[in-house]
Structures are given as structure tokens and as C-alpha cells.
Amino acid sequence: MNSDAGEPETRWLAAEERTAWLSLASVLMRLQPALDAQLKRDAGLSHFEYQILAALSESPERTLRMSVLAELAEGSLSRLSYAVGRLEKEQWVRRTPDPADGRSTLAILTDAGWDKVVDTAPGHATEVRRLVIDPLTKAQLRQMTAVNTRILAAIDPEGTCKRLPT
């Protein structure tokens, strides 16, 4: 215990733990901008915008409530609303009131949006493979999935994240 405050003593990171943490932090800080750069260069989209289009493309009738879409895209409702506004201007997405619940709004992927996802997905998959998949062995990929699943479960113990691996 810290004698001054009566609080538990801080558990500082050991050298190996610190190295693991710093390597993860570096990946977290660099991967998103790398994916953004490829998508902006090749498709004029941010990674967040691509996640929106991809989530809609994988949903029944290419339609989701905005609240569900925010969870799937890993963003706040306000960030999602701004991004969907941009996607609407491009005519890739449209919004409409939910007929089942007038308080909710549906986001719908248009045919042009579907075409955008189909055109964009190969380049994105190639970049994900180059940056994340190909540098690892199959055993390392399985380990990465197990590690990420445990970290995500610690972050989200209720399992509210819709994209947690199963």
C-alpha cells in the first residue's frame, strides 16, 4: 500500500510487459492512419466511412438503424451522422425514418453505394493483408485472435460490441 494515501500500490509494468504494451500502442497509433491513407488515395474514403459502407453491405436489405451502425462502425452517433451526411452527398447512402419506430433513423446503402463497396473492397483487403495478415504465420494469426478477443472482453465485459470475434 502507498502509506500516504492508503491506496493499493501501483503495479508498474515489468520490462517484458512494457515492451508488449508499447508495441501494441505503436500498432494502434499507426495502423488506422495507414488504412486511411490507402482508402483515401484509392477510393476517396476514410477508413471510418468504409466501415459504414461495409457494415451496410453485409446487413439484411443493406439497411441498419443508425444506432446499430454506430456500434458496428465503432463510432459515436454524432461522428456517424457527420460521415453518413458525406456519404449521402455522394449518393452512396440515404437516411429515412424507421417505419417500425419513428424515433429511429435507418441508413440504407444505395446501389451506387454497393458499387462503391464492391470497387473499394479488393484494394482494402490487399492493404489489410499486406499490413496485418501476411507478416504473420497461421499460428501467430490464431494467437492474435485469441489475444485480441481477451483484450476486447476486458474492454467490453458485457459483450456489447457487435464486432467482437466469436
Q: Three-state SS string across 8-62, please?
A: CCCCCCCHHHHHHHHHHHHHHHHHHHHHHHHHHHHHCCCHHHHHHHHHHHCCHHH
pLDDT for 137 equals 97
pLDDT for 130 equals 97
Report yes or no on 104 lying in a domain. Answer: yes
pLDDT for 74 equals 87
Report yes or no on 128 lying in a domain. Answer: yes
Give the predicted TM-score (pTM) of the model. 0.85
pLDDT for 129 equals 98
pLDDT for 3 equals 54
Contact residues for 51 (Cβ-Cβ < 8 A; gap 6+)? 72, 73, 74, 75
Structural domain total, the chain = 1
Q: Over the stretch 105-114, which tens digit does the pLDDT of each residue have?
A: 999 999 999 9
pLDDT for 120 equals 98
Distance, CA of 112 to CA of 38 (rounded, Å) = 21
Do residues 58 and 72 touch, judged by C-beta distance below 8 A?
no
Residue 89 is placed in which grid cell? 452527398
Report yes or no on 141 lying in a domain. Answer: yes
pLDDT for 166 equals 42
pLDDT for 163 equals 55
Report yes or no on 35 lying in a domain. Answer: no
pLDDT for 156 equals 86
Report yes or no on 12 lying in a domain. Answer: no
pLDDT for 162 equals 60
Do residues 37 and 50 touch, judged by C-beta distance below 8 A?
no
The domain that holds 65 is classified in CATH as 1.10.10.10
Counting as low any pLDDT under 70, the low residues of the chain are: 1-5, 161-166
Q: Which domain holds residue 125?
A: 44-154
